[in-house]
Amino acid sequence: MRVIISGGGTGGHIYPAIAIANELKSINPSTEILFVGAEGKMEMEKVPKAGYSIIGLPVVGIRRELTVTNLVFPVKLGRSLLKAKAVVSDFKPDVVVGVGGYASGPVLLSASLAGIPTLIQEQNSYAGLTNKVLARWAKKVCVAYPEMDTFFSADKIKLTGNPVRKDIQFADQQVDTGRQFFALKPDLPTVLVIGGSQGARTLNESIEQGISAFVKAGIQVLWQTGTGFIDRARMAVAEAKTDLIRPFDFIYEMDKAYAVADVVVSRAGALSVSELCLVGRPAILVPLPTAAEDHQTKNAMSLVERNAALLVKDQVARTELVHKAIQLLGNNAKCAELKHNIKQLGKPNAAREIAEEVIRLAK
């Protein structure tokens, strides 16, 4: 079986794509998989590290405001369509999977026009523009949230959840290992702060301003800042003269980080929300207000409405976030309630279910 997996741009697209590829290989090791991404985007680095080949398209996104990028958009789209058509023709896939992002458009369109079955994986509770357009030709749409028939034909939808890395599912077995790995004190509570693969300025500035409050409360913090904020975070920690706050530009060992977390502070990207549901940790979500169609708020509300997470709006995070985290850590009953409710929303078999749909289409 030959499969093209296309899309990317963010970790929220890339990591589910890799999880699907790994599952396809697990079911049938002889499966041949080719990724197609966007030139210059993070998938061009992350996919080869996962052991897969990737081809880049020159496609770019269109901006809402007038920019130079918009002027070259039609040219790059045309070149991407031609290249995608050539890739599909050369590789001859049995099925093509789109995970969202700029690159999935030209590839899925080329496959559909060539009569090759396509499957879309939509991670968010509010469908992205690319997926909404491509869905009319897709044979199957795998979604992470219920009630997605607002965007897609009901007869094409399969509720699978978002695929995540397998090690995340076994985080509870890593508590002692995680404490040793991060050199944490077992008698102190721990907050994990994750702002997505590239960090989040609001979260970073909120934690920076709250360092003294965390230290005073005797709370340890694992703080993923992203590369752009790491030097500033390290300087702030040095000035506070504390070893309770641990800044990292990126945390690769997320299973261990989730394992030791008593509370998680996070953006509300689709992948982060899916991981939180699987590991079952009390969470405070701070949605990115500029996300397309405000989809992060919709992702967060799907948990908040089920009493499975708390929400702090981006515009008040700098004054309220740290206080709310400390308050939640002091409320064992609320933590237990959130932990129980969020765990009910986890979909541990998402990658397997999507892989099985891909195999059905290929046949």
Same domain, 287 and 249: yes
251 by DSSP, 3-state: which?
coil
165 annotated ligand binder: yes
Same domain, 147 and 189: no
341 annotated ligand binder: no
Same domain, 78 and 91: yes
Same domain, 134 and 198: no
307-325 burial code (b ≥16 CB/10 A, e <16): ebbbbbebeebbebbbebb
How many separate domains does the chain show?
A: 2
Same domain, 172 and 287: yes
315 annotated ligand binder: no
Question: Which pLDDT tens digit goes with each residue over 242-267?
Answer: 999 999 999 989 999 999 999 999 99
- What pLDDT band is residue 9 in, cutting at 50, 70 and 90? confident
Same domain, 109 and 173: no
Same domain, 39 and 143: yes
10 annotated ligand binder: yes
Average pLDDT score, the chain: 92
Same domain, 13 and 153: yes
Same domain, 188 and 151: no
Same domain, 118 and 194: no
Q: Which amino acid is at 318?
A: R
Lowest mean pLDDT among 96-100, 194-198, 302-306: 194-198
Name the residue range of residue 136's domain. Answer: 2-162+348-362
Q: Is the pLDDT of residue 297 over 90?
A: yes
pLDDT for the residue numbered 68? 60
- What pLDDT band is residue 72 in, cutting at 50, 70 and 90? low
Which of 181 and 294 is assigned the larger pLDDT?
181
Which of 346 and 199 is assigned the larger pLDDT?
346
Which residues 6+ apart lie within 8 Å of 201 measured at CB?
195, 229
- What pLDDT band is residue 197 in, cutting at 50, 70 and 90? low
Q: What CATH number is associated with residue 77?
A: 3.40.50.2000
Same domain, 177 and 147: no
CA 290, 98, 250, 179 dihedral sign is: positive
273 annotated ligand binder: yes
Same domain, 144 and 67: yes
